[in-house]
């Protein structure tokens, strides 16, 4: 398929190309156009049927959109913009440099321009920033038949026609009616009798992640958005909610790996941007490791007496770090999904303590057996008086470290959330650095007591 298209482009067989592309899905066409040479792009774009061209345009990434806009005449630009839904137009303008954004706005009429500027003003993470302003509104005295007429009248220009919103004269939201309700009722039935007044809605400034969570919880197709005065101003559709869910998951994962989140895909991010997203945490964590180093330095002389202890440092640090990450990551995800709140902190602590106890018993036990066996099998000379105390120190440290790591791992994200920080930042790398220092501190103090050094 892709090969055929490239051959048609090369051979300039545009009639056949138009025919072929017309049957394809906009998302697929946009993907193919990514691999087309820049100077060919406007030519191919111009042969697409107008409506399809606009749909393809929406699916492109912002660099390609900018390239096309710069190649468009004003008339062409207006034609594409006329076909776009309001929320897509706003997204595109948001991504463009100021001069390009200005040119786009110049091609829209005054009313649209006012609407776009309003939408652009909503904060990036708000429900207002992802809503569309095109929807079907009904009045409560309408009949089912009148409602269908209204849907037909506005239908072509809206994304979601299957949920209609019943409003009063000052645009307050009174209820919703689905097309299913309309189909299953008589034509002369009055809307106020069939509308559902128990509406789930969001405010323009609500967090978009919470709004996406509502779609998941209530299996919604669309969610109305109201302003401070409870007037209907827009609708969030399920496809935008899915995008938010994926973006938020990616963001959480990036933060958990000590990366500053970006909203571009891997290959679209430049090397320098990737570097900038990764270096701050690497630097901070590297410098934090100074404390761990200081703990070792303070114990340096004693370590030269029992050099065998040095070999266990990586194992103790890693196991502690892994135990802590397991807890922190589980809790961070639970917070994201709305399963865990601050009031659950004692339930979480109690559960993690019990899990930690089981884990540390098993880890310390297995480690004890492994060390005895290894010493016995490898060294052949087993000096119980010398080796048993060393092994005991290692296993006891392991036991304590795992418990401390899990308790820190589960409580830090919840506390972070409470004081308004992002819990995801409290994940593996951060926990690891803290747990490293603590585990070495425990290790050396247990060694001092048990080995009498």
- Tell me which residues in 159-178 interact with a second copy (CB under 8 A): 161-162
Closest to a second copy by CB, 188 or 219: 219
> According to CB under 8 A, which residues from 347 to 386 bind a second copy?
347-348, 351, 354-355, 358-359, 362-363, 366-367, 370
**Stretches 33-41, 203-211, 270-278, 443-451: which one binds a second copy (CB under 8 A)?**
270-278
Calpha distance 302→36 (Å, rounded): 66
DSSP 8-state assignment for residue 166: E
Contact 451, 389 (CB under 8 A): yes
Q: Is 182 helix (H, G, I), strand (E, B) or coil?
A: helix
Q: Is 105 an interacting residue with respect to a second copy (CB under 8 A)?
A: no
Calpha distance 54→74 (Å, rounded): 15
Calpha distance 353→426 (Å, rounded): 19
Which residues pair with residue 412 across a beta bridge?
Answer: none
Q: Is 337 an interacting residue with respect to a second copy (CB under 8 A)?
A: yes
> According to CB under 8 A, which residues from 431 to 450 bind a second copy?
432-433, 436, 440
Q: What is the chain's length?
A: 453
Closest to a second copy by CB, 100 or 417: 417
- Shortest approach of a second copy to residue 269 CB, angstroms? 9
> According to CB under 8 A, which residues from 277 to 296 bind a second copy?
278-279, 281-283, 285-287, 289-290, 292-294, 296
> According to CB under 8 A, which residues from 194 to 213 bind a second copy?
198, 200
- How many residues lie near a second copy (CB under 8 A)? 111
- Shortest approach of a second copy to residue 351 CB, angstroms? 6
Q: Is 200 helix (H, G, I), strand (E, B) or coil?
A: coil
Contact 283, 365 (CB under 8 A): no
**Stretches 9-17, 273-281, 380-388, 444-452: which one binds a second copy (CB under 8 A)?**
273-281
**Stretches 38-46, 87-95, 186-194, 320-328: which one binds a second copy (CB under 8 A)?**
320-328
> According to CB under 8 A, which residues from 223 to 262 bind a second copy?
238-239, 241-243, 245-246, 249-250, 252-254, 256-259
Instruction: Find the helix packing angle between 384-418 and 313-336, rounded to 10°.
Output: 20
> According to CB under 8 A, which residues from 38 to 57 bind a second copy?
none
> According to CB under 8 A, which residues from 59 to 78 bind a second copy?
none
Contacting a second copy (CB under 8 A), which of 132, 319, 397, 401?
Answer: 319
Region of residue 163 (left: phi > 0; alpha: psi -120 to 50; beta: else): beta
Token reading at 106: 């110049």
- Kindly state the helix (H) or strand (E) to which residue 133 belongs, with its residue range: none
- Shortest approach of a second copy to residue 388 CB, angstroms? 18
- Pairing mode of beta strands 173-178, 163-167: antiparallel
Contacting a second copy (CB under 8 A), which of 121, 308, 369, 379?
Answer: 308
- Which residue shows structure tokens 């891997």? 266
Closest to a second copy by CB, 77 or 434: 434
**Stretches 44-52, 66-74, 120-128, 149-157: which one binds a second copy (CB under 8 A)?**
149-157
Q: Is 145 an interacting residue with respect to a second copy (CB under 8 A)?
A: no
- Shortest approach of a second copy to residue 227 CB, angstroms? 23
Instruction: Give the angle subtended at the CA of 158 by the CAs of 156 and 163, to the nearest 5°.
Output: 115
Q: Is 265 an interacting residue with respect to a second copy (CB under 8 A)?
A: yes
- Shortest approach of a second copy to residue 98 CB, angstroms? 29
Q: With b meaning 16 or more CB within 10 Å and e meaning fewer, what string describes 147-183?
A: bbebbeeeeeebbbbebbbbbeeeeebbbbbbeebbe
- Shortest approach of a second copy to residue 162 CB, angstroms? 5
Q: Is 301 an interacting residue with respect to a second copy (CB under 8 A)?
A: yes
- Shortest approach of a second copy to residue 343 CB, angstroms? 12
Calpha distance 165→235 (Å, rounded): 10
Q: Kindly write down the DSSP assignment for every residue of 389-409, as one continuous string.
A: HHHHHHHHHHHHHHHHHHHHH
Contacting a second copy (CB under 8 A), which of 11, 49, 123, 155?
Answer: 155
- Its sign, for the CA torsion 30, 36, 41, 47, is negative
């Amino acid at each position: 398929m892709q090969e055929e298209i490239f051959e048609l482009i090369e051979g300039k067989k545009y009639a056949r190309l138009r025919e072929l592309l017309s049957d394809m899905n906009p998302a697929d066409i946009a993907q193919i156009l990514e691999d087309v040479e820049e100077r060919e792009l406007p030519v191919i774009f111009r042969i697409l049927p107008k409506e399809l061209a606009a749909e393809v345009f929406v699916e492109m990434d912002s660099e390609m959109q900018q390239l096309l806009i710069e190649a468009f005449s004003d008339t062409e630009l207006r034609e594409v913009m006329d076909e776009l839904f309001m929320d897509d137009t706003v997204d595109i303008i948001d991504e463009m440099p100021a001069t390009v954004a200005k040119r786009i706005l110049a091609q829209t009429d005054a009313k649209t321009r006012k609407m776009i500027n309003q939408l652009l003003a909503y904060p990036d993470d708000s429900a207002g920033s992802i809503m569309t302003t095109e929807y079907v509104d009904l009045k409560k005295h309408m009949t089912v038949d009148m409602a269908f007429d209204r849907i037909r009248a506005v239908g072509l220009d809206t994304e979601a026609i299957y949920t209609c919103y019943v409003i009063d004269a000052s645009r307050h939201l009174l209820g919703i009616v689905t097309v299913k309700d309309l189909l299953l009722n008589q034509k002369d039935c009055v809307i106020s009798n069939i509308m559902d007044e128990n509406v789930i809605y969001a405010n323009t400034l609500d967090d978009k992640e919470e709004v996406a969570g509502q779609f998941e919880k209530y299996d919604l197709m669309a969610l109305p958005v109201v302003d401070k005065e409870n007037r209907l101003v827009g609708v969030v559709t399920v496809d935008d909610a899915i995008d938010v869910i994926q973006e938020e998951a990616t963001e959480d994962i990036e933060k958990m790996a000590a990366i500053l989140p970006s909203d571009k895909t891997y290959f679209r991010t430049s090397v320098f941007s990737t570097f900038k997203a990764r270096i701050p945490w690497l630097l901070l964590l590297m410098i934090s490791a100074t404390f761990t180093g200081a703990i070792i330095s303070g114990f340096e002389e004693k370590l030269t007496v029992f050099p065998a202890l040095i070999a266990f440092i990586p194992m103790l640090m890693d196991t502690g770090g892994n135990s802590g990450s397991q807890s922190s990551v589980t809790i961070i995800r639970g917070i994201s999904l709305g399963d865990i709140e601050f009031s659950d902190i004692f339930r979480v602590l109690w559960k993690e303590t019990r899990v930690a106890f089981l884990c540390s018993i098993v880890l310390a036990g297995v480690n004890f057996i492994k060390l005895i066996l290894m010493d016995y099998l490898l060294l052949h000379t087993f000096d119980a008086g010398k080796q048993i105390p060393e092994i005991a120190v290692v296993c006891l440290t392991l036991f304590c470290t795992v418990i401390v790591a899990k308790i820190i791992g589960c409580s830090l994200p919840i506390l972070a959330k409470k004081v308004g920080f992002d819990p995801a930042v409290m994940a593996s790398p951060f926990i690891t650095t803290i747990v490293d220092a603590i585990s070495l501190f425990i290790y050396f103090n247990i060694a001092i007591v048990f080995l009498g050094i």
